[in-house]
Amino acid sequence: MSAPTLAPAPAPVAVPAPAAPAGGPTARELLDFALHTAADADAVAALPLDPQGRTWIRLDGPAGSEAWLIGWPPGTGTGWHDHAESRGAFATARGRLTENSLAVRLPSEGWKSLELAPDVDRLRHLDAGTGRAFAEHHVHEVLNESPAEHAISVHAYYPPLPLIRRYSRSGPVLTLEHVERPADWQ
């Protein structure tokens, strides 16, 4: 009787990396991307800095997200704004950024001016190597409060920004001033 013949072992099968959720990358995945990119010295060094105005380079974000490397001269900021239906994250690569935000979800439509409750303000300082993620309709302003040092940060959003709503603030009153579309900043 002859010995049984053994079939060769099947070839290993390449298993693809898990894809982003059907709804695109999560806020945590956007933050991971921002932190990783902020730690990339070559990417950060590629950004030209202007002593008077913010500069930016568009990046390839994860899984179809929109991403930016942004330079902040001393004393500059964004003003109050939101990113509409996009979730996002940002990380400081150099310097220190300050984020003032609102811990309340505002209605996305149908208002021009709102009086905010006294306990909705949040303040965060983000030194180099730190970042934060946020959900849709997050209202905030980001500032480089340094009198002398440039800051650099990485930002990522999903879905890519459909619009940015700009607000003014006087004490507890937040007023919608205007809406920007992608053609306004690209």
Domains of the chain: 27-184 (2.60.120.10)
pLDDT at residue 6, rounded to an integer: 33
Q: Under a CB-based contact definition with an 8 Å cutoff, are residues 146 and 95 in contact?
A: yes
The stretch 136-165 carries a mean pLDDT of 96
Between CA 157 and CA 86 the distance in angstroms is 6
pLDDT at residue 119, rounded to an integer: 93
pTM of the shown model? 0.84
Q: In percent, how much of the chain has pLDDT > 70? A: 88
pLDDT at residue 160, rounded to an integer: 95
Instruction: Annotate 26-92 with DSSP letters as a single string.
Output: -HHHHHHHHHHHHT-HHHHHTS---SSS-EEEEEE-GGG-EEEEEEE-TT-B--EEE-TT-EEEEEE
H or E element at residue 178: strand 173-180
Between CA 68 and CA 129 the distance in angstroms is 16
pLDDT at residue 128, rounded to an integer: 98
Residue type, position 32, single letter: D
* pLDDT tens-digit readout, 22-54: 589 999 999 999 999 999 999 999 999 999 999
